[in-house]
């Protein structure tokens, strides 16, 4: 069983679950997942984890790599799209209209 660092599930999909399924750790693949690469993680292994999320039904995945100020955007049937530099914003598009992340907020403050 996988558990992302952050996730989102469409309300209609959540509402379709039984009360029992909503208790504890719901056995449902999120629509949107976010993984944050920590210093002890391996990039290739974490990228594979995002691919597993897409294979399970996720519609969008972001792999955030603070050390290099990079984000890898995963979408079904699309090549992985790197976004380099935390001077940009990521938007979730049609999946989550209006949701955006200012990457500069993720910068380490020294």
Residue closest to 84 by CA, chosen among 60, 96, 66: 66
User: Tell me: the pLDDT tens digits for 11-47?
Assistant: 999 999 888 888 877 888 999 999 999 999 999 999 9
Measured CA to CA, the distance from residue 12 to residue 77 in angstroms comes to 24
Q: In order of start, what are the domains of the chain with their CATH numbers?
A: 6-106 (3.90.1570.10)
DSSP classification of residue 8: E
pTM, rounded to two decimals: 0.91
């Amino acid at each position: 069983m996988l558990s992302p660092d952050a996730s989102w599930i469409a309300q209609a999909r959540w509402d379709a679950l039984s009360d029992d399924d909503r208790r504890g750790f719901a056995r449902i693949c999120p629509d949107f997942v976010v993984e944050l690469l920590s210093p002890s993680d391996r990039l290739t292994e974490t990228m594979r984890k995002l691919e597993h999320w897409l294979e399970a039904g996720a519609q969008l995945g972001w792999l955030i790599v603070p050390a290099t100020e990079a984000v890898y955007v995963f979408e079904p049937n699309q090549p992985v799209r790197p976004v380099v530099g935390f001077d940009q914003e990521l938007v979730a598009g049609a999946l989550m209209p209006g949701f955006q992340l200012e990457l500069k907020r993720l910068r380490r403050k020294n």
